[in-house]
Amino acid sequence: MKQYWRSIEEYESIQEQGNKGNQDDSLKETPDHHHDEPGDSDLAGSHSRRDFLKMLGFGIGYAGLLSGCEMPVRKAIPYLNQPEEIVPGVANYYATTFYDGHDYCSILVKNREGRPIKIEGNVLSPVTKGGTHARVQASILNLYDMARLKEPMKNSQETTWEAIDGEVIAKLQEISTEGGRAVILTPTVISPSARHLLKEFMLKYPGTEWITYDAISSSAMLQANEMNFKQKAIPDYRFDQADLIVGFNADFLGNWLSPVEYTKQYTKKRSLMDSKTMPRHIQFESYMSLTGSNADYRVPIKPSEESIILLNLYNLIASAKGADTYTVSESPIEIGKLAEELLASEGKSLVVCGTNDLHSQLIVNAINHLLGNYGTTIDLARPLLTQQGSDDEMAALVDDMVQGKVSGLILCQVNPVYDYPAAQRFADGMKQMKLTVSITERLDETARLAHYVCPDSNYLESWNDFEVKKGCYSMGQPVINKVFNTRQAQDSLLRWMEDQATYNDYIENYWEKNIYPGQSKFDGFRGFRNEVLHDGIYVDTSSAGAQPSFSSVELQAGIEPEGEGFELVLYEKISIGDGKYANNPWLQELPDPVTMATWDNYVCIPPGYAKENRLKLEDVVLINGDVELPVLVQPGQPEGTIAIAVGYGRSNAGKVANGLGKNVYPLAVIADGHRKFSGRKVTMERVSGKRYPLALTQSHHTMEQRALAREATLMEYLEAPDAGNEMHMGIVEENLTLYEIPQYEGSHWGLAINLNACIGCGNCVISCQAENNVAVIGKEQVRNRRIMHWIRIDRYYSDEADNPEVIRMPVMCQHCDNAPCENVCPVAATPHSSEGLNQMAYNRCIGTRYCVNNCPYKVRRFNWFEYAGNEKFDYNLNNDYGKLVLNPDVTVRSRGVVEKCSFCVQRIQAAKLNAKMENRGIIDGELKTACQQSCPGDAIVFGDMNDPNSEIKKILDNPRTYQLLEQLHTLPSVNYMTKIWNKDKEDKKVNYRRTRYVPHSVKHGKKHS
């Protein structure tokens, strides 16, 4: 079988030892946690274990005498007036919508006794279809962030809303009467009411201007579409309509535009559950992204090569179709086969590019046009509205600010002093102004410089409406009263317009006038509004525009960057994104699906360069003589490039985020009117002798050389459905036993994961963390390999280091029917249930960790410390607000006990009770585990394996299904389905091979017919 490797160190060790060596040699970097402990006594009280035994000896003897001890008096405090919809102990779910200028998602919020504790996807929404993103899942914790502003502030002093309102209105009037210019800077606003409000605001204060600024912008794409279609918009991509997907640096499964929606579409076609076909996905990219690691063929390219390859590809297609071609230097990658395939699937292919570069975007548009993809896989009739910022407007604003042409600035939920490349100029500009107001959730880098800081409400405390695509409307409602003395931005604007209406009324008015008349289903506005909220999306069928006609423009390849050194790629991590939520400890501790790193950013360097220069993980390098960062050797990182994640290096986000990593936004450049996050040349020098520890989870879990993640190609699968899984039946037959095979009366719970639908995005990890009160333990303890996540996503590389293949599998407790952990527990704390669950009784566990050692899957987690209410672990469980997110139906574990995935037994119990109360059996599909509910890939299925009609039973009978380490005869209840790749028999080394490294000097294409 294939040789898998988990890290570049292991890969090299395999290479050196001629594939014979023990893989474990590579794991010698195991941190020795017996030396660098923070000290037992520091972390949990002042008693050592020996003291405890001494005390115990006395304690038992004196127990009879210690009769003066009292139980704490516990209070039961009922409501004064119990709200009608609240039944203590029963959760309510409220539908609302998440949008933060970057990600959009229809969600349900689970409320217990008035406090939101969990986010679920809204399955009714046609856009996100019940999926969520890890950042959306974790956003519930932002609500309880202690770093949020609690009071309005003026010049760093707390003040009142009345004082602020009076002064802001006076200054706005002053600026307006003087004929001065005031600017409202916002991220993309997709709320129709808020857009209307902003327009009214500009009328109220003439001279006011509204500029949109997106931290991660799609401005080049907007401009390209304006040039080609006279429509400054982002089209609606339909990945579910495509048979061939070609991505150029577009991380559409992770961060690009609408990842949850795209993941749903992508995995639906690729899951191989209902059909025997799957689209092919080819990804050209300059860093190892989540999307690239899921592609059938991944081609590492330099950023500067992108437009050259694209234009060559265009030429090949154009010459086949008889259209104009352009002169361009030869493609560094063999793309003949790709052009053939694209031509073969005209109208059923999709080429996307995520680079903020006009040249590339124009070529991609031209290719899609030639292939007839507009109207099939690309829809401009209902453009996506979530990204609308134009970089040149922002650049002009900064110039004007520095020149003193702007006298007032209202910053709404933006933080350009942190995330704008020319941040220093922006900050300088702010200092000259008469009025600077920041409406923000926290006292961030920009708000710190503003005269007035107005605390903004969290989206879970606000009324909202959104138009995510043209004519597709959503609503948002508050699910909790305001936690602090905050006011949502729109309400602040209304007050400053001297309008006393609430924003809720404003939305209602707007909808009643503008959107409600467009429908005929409802007679009353209230009913209409409730349905829009409930269903997540209302589609105004009359509003779809026509597909605009294509007008071609001159194409040319981009300009090759000047200077020496590496081409730099700045990218977003799945967890931290653009850095807005850096203070969220759940996100900080979510291992990156590619690098498996937590808590930091780092420089991803290509393995070839690392080997030549003897650079290793955790060596420190200096980028451009300015930014010092540790090195992570990233397989698949193209030669001549380095990649660094943005979103780190916050100085004013809160105590979790401050000082973590480095801010690399200043390394972005503004060229051709667009902010370029990739392609700039930078120098990299080693800082000799310096090392910086990184907390990686990647080589925690050795799985030796066994067929764990099984895979096959589509061709093999079509020939034999058990391809890659041939050993399964053999193992089942070999697993003869003298003992009785366990039988289950009633239910037998089982879970299945379709490796073809799992993209490894990490949403399940956060969802599980929120549901099951999983503790955050901090970088040092992650480094000590004590991460507490109940579900982890293993990532294995195979093939060569320059361009590896990646396969992932989520692993949680396998709930073995023959569980090795159960029979080694000396106190029977982990017995088996009659429903096939491997139970864990925390109150019985004495912490011997025998079970941890005996578990072949390494899924059991030990509480080395008291993580809740311990100031050494100063995360959400160490303050009263953060604790509000805890699920009251799950025990908070204390020090010294083992924990692990329970199959969400609290949900099982609740579903059973519901069924019993309704005098019926459990319906297949009504009971969903936390990881399953919001999975954007629908990769997880949970159900009763005893039910002959259940989905899980069907999967059990599928020839793709196998169990992890099934040869051990542990009889796991978790099943996996083989990963099928849509690859040809010929290798990628032939079809997409690199023909040369350095592009020729021809840079500007010339038109010739």
Partner 1 sequence: MHRYLRRIYHKILPSFLLTTLFIGNGIIAGNAYSQTTDPKQLFQVCAACHHIGKGKLIGPDLYGVTERHDRDWLMRFIRNSQEVIESGDEYAVKLFEEYNKIPMPPVDYTDEQINILIDYIANFVPYKPEAVAAAPAVAETEAADDFFAETKSTRRNYGTTFIISLILLLAAAFDMLVTRLIKARFVNFIVMLISAFIMIEITVVEAQNLGRQKDYEPDQPILFSHKIHAGENKIDCKYCHTSVTESKHAGIPPVSLCMNCHNVVREGRHTGRTEIDKIYQAMESGRPIQWVRVHNLPDHSFFNHAQHVTVGKMECESCHGDVNSMHRIRQVHDLSMGWCIECHRNTEVQFLDNNYYEKFRKFHEELKAGTRTRVTVDDVGGTECSKCHY
- Write out the residues near partner 1 by the rule CB under 8 A: 60-61, 63-65, 67-71, 73-82, 87-90, 745-747, 831, 833-835, 837, 839-844, 889-892, 902, 905-906, 909, 912-913, 915-917, 919-922, 944, 946-947
CB of 72 to partner 1, least distance (A): 9
β-strands 244-248, 234-237: how paired? unpaired
Q: Which residues face 928 on adjacent strands? A: none
CB-facing half-sphere around the CA of 651: CA atoms within 13 A:
10
Which one, 692 or 842, has the nearer CB to partner 1?
A: 842
Q: Residue 843 or residue 1009: which is nearer to partner 1 going by CB?
A: 843
Q: How far is the CB of 897 from partner 1 (least distance, A)?
A: 10
CB 461 within 8 A of CB 488: yes
The label of the residue with tokens 């210690």 reads 66
List alpha helices for 705-799, DSSP H.
Answer: 714-719, 727-734, 763-771, 778-783
Q: Are 267 and 937 in contact (CB under 8 A)?
A: yes
Strands 349-353 and 378-384: unpaired
The one-letter amino acid code at 45 reads G
**DSSP-assigned letter for residue 684:** E
Residue pair 992/725 in contact (Cβ under 8 Å)? The answer is no
**Cβ at position 911, least distance to partner 1 in Å:** 11
DSSP collapsed to 3 states, 535-592: HCCEECHHHCCCCCCCCCCCCCCCCCCCCCCEEEEEECECCCECCCCCCCHHHHCCCC
Task: Give the Cα separation of 418 and 571 in Å (integer).
Answer: 16
Report, in Å, the least distance between residue 889 CB and partner 1: 7
Q: How far is CA 143 from CA 456, 461, 492, in A?
A: 11, 8, 19
Closest CA to 179 of 411, 407, 432, 498: 407
Q: Could you tell me the smallest distance in angstroms from the CB atom of residue 92 to partner 1? A: 12
Nearer to partner 1, 210 or 903 (CB): 903
Q: Which residues contact 851 (CB under 8 A, 6 or more apart)?
A: 821, 822, 824, 825, 830, 860, 898
* Pairing relationship of beta strands 603-605 and 627-633 according to DSSP bridges: parallel
The residue among 78 and 179 lying less far from partner 1, judged by its C-beta, is 78
Closest to partner 1 by CB, 578 or 889: 889
Q: How far is the CB of 814 from partner 1 (least distance, A)?
A: 16
Q: Which amino acid is at 1000?
A: H
CB of 112 to partner 1, least distance (A): 11
Minimum distance of partner 1 from residue 826's CB (angstroms): 16
Smaller CB separation from partner 1, 163 or 913: 913
In whole angstroms, the minimum distance from the beta carbon of 866 to partner 1 comes to: 14
Shortest spacing between CB 840 and partner 1, in angstroms: 8
Is the Cβ–Cβ distance between 743 and 965 less than 8 Å? Answer: no
The residue (of 77 and 546) whose beta carbon lies closer to partner 1 is 77
The one-letter amino acid code at 779 reads K
Q: Given the complex with partner 1, which of 80 and 546 has the nearer CB atom? A: 80
CA distances from 609 to 300, 349, 635, 802 (A): 15, 36, 11, 10
In the complex with partner 1, which residue's Cβ is closer, 166 or 921?
921
689's tokens: 């002798």
Q: Which is nearer to partner 1, 19 or 909 (CB)?
A: 909
Shortest Cβ 940–partner 1 spacing (Å):
20
Q: Which of 432, 452, 417 is nearest to 180 (CA)?
A: 432
Closest to partner 1 by CB, 197 vs 945, is: 945
Tokens (6 digits) for 987 = 């290798």
Which residues does residue 107 pair with via DSSP β-bridges, in sequence order?
96, 121
Task: Supply the minimum distance, in Å, between the C-beta of residue 849 and partner 1.
Answer: 19
CB-nearer residue toward partner 1: 54 or 993: 54
